């Protein structure tokens, strides 16, 4: 699946996650954790970014940010690049520290704000880093301690979080703590980490076609956490048109389907199509498969080159030849496909 574009706009709420490359630690000791905290203080202040919840684990970290005018990507680029440079210098290492880019889930605030604060702050307990709520309240590298007034953190907006629980400062802290305690039996809460109906289902057009009701479209995009109306409004603002290959995916059409159909049209065994045999009809079936995979399903030519043991130029020629075969014979991967390009 191709990399998805980042969804963002000033003032929106983001659950952001960073993870060490190959799931390796991003902290070796408290000096590293303090260094990231110092960098957060600098970057969040300079970019006017609000942070409501956060936690440092051994090989990953979670944050709940409000996107500033410069955008969440700008914030994370400064944060991750600066910290990775520090970490590499201190530990005499080279290369990437983090696994790919950060993950961010754009969240519907009125429905999920409190849930996300609780989910993020319970990470140390779920992972066994602390044994109980008393240990969590004393944990230096988690925003829970700050909300209870047990430690300062000038870049965490504790006042905003506690205001959502109402009452005096003392009352709001108690209500918050009771709310966290009530979440102890809820487990990992995979529903709070992004869309559940899966982008691979097929973009917004496919989701609406397959799940017509607002309720069934909840969390339909893994970059967004919210109900159907919220998801739709965000994608509309982003002016995304995600039909084509996603509609094919929604119907269960993938590389294996393309290979089977191309083989069937020429009456050959799919296993033989994948071998470097240039005689027809195997070469024709292979070219048609390459065309459908690359142009209709968005499979990279590099991936096809590895699969078929061909050069990049060989795959490019096969795709073009497959395009002509499909056009001349009116072969389609799906009867109503729109594809990527013809």
Which positions of the chain have pLDDT values less than 70? 1-7, 187-222, 226-247, 249-251, 335-342
**pLDDT value of residue 243:** 43
Which phi and psi angles does 328 have, rounded to 5°?
-70, -30
Adjacent-strand bridge partners of 225: 107
How large is the greatest C-alpha to C-alpha distance in the chain, in angstroms? Answer: 81
Distance CA 250, CA 155 (A): 43
Contact 175, 166 (CB under 8 A): yes
**pLDDT value of residue 118:** 96
Contact 86, 35 (CB under 8 A): yes
Q: Is 55 helix (H, G, I), strand (E, B) or coil?
A: strand
Distance CA 242, CA 249 (A): 11
Residues 6+ apart with CB under 8 A from 309: 276
Query: Terminus-to-terminus CA distance in the chain, angstroms?
Result: 19
**pLDDT value of residue 4:** 55
For 4, which DSSP code? P
Decide: residue 68, CB within 10 A, 0-12 exposed, 13-18 middle, 19+ buried.
Answer: middle
**pLDDT value of residue 244:** 53
Distance CA 299, CA 304 (A): 7
**pLDDT value of residue 334:** 77
The CATH homologous superfamily of the domain defined by 13-191: Transposase IS200-like (3.30.70.1290)
Distance CA 317, CA 340 (A): 18
The DSSP line for 321-340 is HHHHHHHHHT--SSTT---S
Comparing 13-191 with 248-329, is the CATH topology the same? no
Buried b (16+ CB within 10 A) or exposed e, 292-321: bbbbbbbbebeebbebbebeeebbbebbeb
**pLDDT value of residue 217:** 42
**pLDDT value of residue 102:** 87
Q: What Cα–Cα distance (Å) separates residue 249 from each residue in 198, 199, 206, 324? A: 11, 9, 9, 24
Half-sphere exposure at residue 188, Cβ-oriented, CA atoms within 13 angstroms: 5
**pLDDT value of residue 111:** 81
**pLDDT value of residue 115:** 92
Contact 64, 13 (CB under 8 A): yes
Which phi and psi angles does 117 have, rounded to 5°?
-60, -45
Which pLDDT tens digit goes with each residue over 303-315? 898 999 888 888 9
Residue 103: which H helix or E strand, with range? strand 103-107
For 102, which DSSP code? P
**pLDDT value of residue 69:** 87
CATH class of 248-329: mainly alpha
**pLDDT value of residue 252:** 73
CA Rg value for the chain: 25
Q: Domain-by-domain residue ranges, the chain?
A: 13-191, 194-242, 248-329
């Amino acid at each position: 699946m191709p990399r998805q574009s980042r969804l963002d706009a000033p003032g929106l709420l983001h659950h952001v996650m960073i993870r060490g490359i190959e799931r390796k630690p991003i902290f070796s000791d408290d000096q590293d954790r303090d260094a990231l905290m110092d960098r957060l203080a600098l970057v969040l202040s300079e970019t006017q970014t609000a942070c409501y919840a956060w936690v440092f684990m051994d090989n990953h970290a979670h944050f709940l940010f409000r996107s500033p005018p410069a955008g969440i990507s700008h914030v994370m680029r400064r944060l991750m690049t600066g910290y990775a440079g520090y970490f590499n210098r201190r530990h005499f290492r080279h290369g990437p520290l983090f696994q790919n880019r950060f993950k961010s889930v754009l969240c519907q605030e009125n429905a999920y704000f409190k849930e996300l604060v609780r989910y993020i702050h319970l990470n140390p307990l779920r992972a066994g880093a602390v044994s109980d709520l008393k240990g969590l309240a004393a944990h230096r590298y988690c925003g829970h301690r700050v909300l209870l007034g047990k430690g300062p953190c000038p870049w965490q907006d504790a006042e905003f979080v506690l205001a959502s629980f109402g009452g005096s400062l003392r009352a709001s802290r108690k209500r918050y703590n009771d709310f966290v305690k009530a979440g102890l039996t809820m487990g990992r809460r995979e529903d709070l980490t992004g869309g559940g109906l899966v982008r691979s289902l097929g973009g917004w057009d496919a989701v609406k076609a397959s799940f017509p009701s607002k309720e069934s479209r909840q969390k339909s995009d893994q970059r967004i956490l919210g109900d159907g109306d919220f998801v739709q409004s965000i994608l509309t603002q982003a002016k995304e048109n995600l039909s084509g290959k996603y509609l094919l995916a929604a119907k269960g059409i993938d590389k294996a389907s393309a290979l089977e159909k191309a083989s069937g049209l020429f009456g050959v065994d799919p296993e033989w199509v994948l071998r470097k045999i240039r005689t027809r009809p195997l070469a024709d079936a292979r070219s048609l498969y390459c065309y459908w995979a690359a142009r209709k399903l968005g499979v990279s030519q590099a991936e096809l080159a590895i699969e078929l043991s061909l050069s990049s130029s060989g795959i490019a020629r096969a795709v073009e030849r497959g395009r002509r075969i499909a056009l001349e014979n009116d072969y389609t991967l799906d009867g109503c496909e729109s594809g990527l390009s013809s």
